[in-house]
Amino acid sequence: MGKRGDPMARSNVLELISRHQPGHPLDQGFYQSEDIFETDVDFLAQRWMLVDHESRIPESGDYFLSETGADSYIVIRGRDGAIRAFHNVCRHRGSRVCLAPQGHSKLLVCPYHAWSYRLDGSLKSAREMGPHFDPGDYGLREIGVRLLGGLVFISPEGDGAAFDQEFAGFGDVLAFHGMSQAKVAARRTYPTAANWKLVVENFLECYHCLPAHPEYSSVHSRAKLEAFGAGTGSGDPAAVARFQPRLEEWEQRTRELGHPLPFYEGDHTTQHMAQLARFPISSDDRVSETQDGELGCSRMMGSFAESDGGQTAIAFCPTGYVLANCDFAFMVIFRPLGPLSTEVDALWLVDGDAVEGEEYDVGRLMWVWDATLKQDKKITENNQRGVLSRGYQPGPYALSEVRVNTFIQWYLHGLSELLARDPCLVP
């Protein structure tokens, strides 16, 4: 009836999980079923989702909305300066409280019956509720918020301690990149008619880069892509060996400059399958991820005095990533909206003091990833169309799709855990 908690749907999911063939993509059902999509939303609700940069809400009362599936969350800065998040649902009869995607307000007033909530979510006033009504029982339903290097994460049901532990090592690198002092130079949305898992799978491998992304390949160079296109372990040994001299030269210079060389890779049993690493952008001496290899912003970010030609790649969760150069950073977030609909939100960040037009040009910053995300939208939608066909049969992953395979294991592992905990499972 309600879409959530239908016991039959869940037992069918378990059967599909048991049929999965390791080293292969998922069965058709995972990429189209309404029931599985609802379970996926439950699954993601227990994890922490990167949603934006905190510079979007600098002042007390500033807020923005973050949406997943049919769910809307208010992320708002309180009078105490802290950021909190709430279900965007009035506790009276369920109206959305905030309607605009972002705004500023001293009080959150529901547009329906004017129940008003303070910035900390507590109910301030509700008319005509009678003597037995205790406003303390009817604050907005709060969800978890975590900040890390200026990045905002929310989680409806996640464990904050697990977040703090899993991302403990990420703060220093984000600080070196000055992410807390960044501002958003540009943002763009790429609505994609595909299941969110296909969008993630596409982002976790660079096997498709040479055929599908000419701009990206020209910037990152064939030699680099073949060796480390999707990170450590994604290239075949011969390509890695060919790239070794360039890598060593880059690592030596990076150490000399005192720049970080972090490395972390969560496996499929971790909560977020996080990743953190630095690589040279290319086999050549380009200093940033721009068309011509020159800086995209003349004001460096954080502690960078000069470029080492490297890029820090961070996966916070399969739905949120940051790729940080010395001068600007790119951030991408995948928002599952429905079984066949995902919103891809991209942000480009520069130092908070950088002056547009003088120190950076938005078109130059966006060049490679805007082109790449437009291409990703098309290839992922073609993938979805094929996956919906009677002719679809999951094939073997290539060597460089190792991280996609980890994602599939991570997803099935987490889904099994979720379903095992759910009492509805008992037939």
CB-nearer residue toward a copy of itself: 55 or 409: 409
Between CA 342 and CA 349, with CA 345 as vertex, the angle to 5 degrees is: 165
Question: Among residues 180 and 217, whose Cβ is nearest to a copy of itself?
Answer: 217
- Show the DSSP H helices in 107-169 as ranges: 160-166
For residue 61, give the amino acid letter: G
Dist CA 25 CA 201 (whole Å): 9
* Least distance in angstroms from the C-beta of 106 to a copy of itself: 17
The pair of three-digit structure tokens given for residue 217, joined into one six-digit string: 């390949």
Smallest distance, Å, CB 336 to a copy of itself?
13
Q: How far is the CB of 371 from a copy of itself (least distance, A)?
A: 15
CA distance 177 to 312: 9
* Least spacing, CB of residue 398 vs a copy of itself, in Å: 4
Q: How far is the CB of 64 from a copy of itself (least distance, A)?
A: 16
Smallest Cα–Cα separation from 329: which of 315, 349, 301? 349
Q: Which CB sits closer to a copy of itself, 53 or 91?
A: 91
- Cβ distance 17 to 410 under 8 Å? no
Compute the radius of gyration of the chain from its Cα atoms: 22
165 contact partners, CB below 8 Å, separation of at least 6: none
Give the shortest CB-418-to-a copy of itself separation in angstroms.
14
Q: 61 and 67 in contact (C-beta within 8 Å)?
A: no
- Residue placing its CB nearer to a copy of itself in the complex, 70 or 355: 70
What minimum distance in Å lies between the beta carbon of 216 and a copy of itself? Answer: 14
Spatial separation of the C-alpha atoms in residues 321 and 315, rounded to whole Å: 5
Q: Which two tokens stand for residue 405?
A: 């395979």
Closest to 99 measured CA to CA, from 127, 126, 63: 63
Q: Which is nearer to a copy of itself, 34 or 267 (CB)?
A: 34
365 burial (CB, 10 Å; 0-12 / 13-18 / 19+) is: buried
Q: Which is nearer to a copy of itself, 264 or 392 (CB)?
A: 392
Nearer to a copy of itself, 145 or 148 (CB): 145
Q: Which is nearer to a copy of itself, 49 or 354 (CB)?
A: 49
Looking at the chain, the number of H-run helices and the number of E-run strands are: 11, 17
Instruction: Round to whole Å and give the CA distance between 338 and 193.
Output: 9
Least distance from C-beta 90 to a copy of itself, angstroms?
6
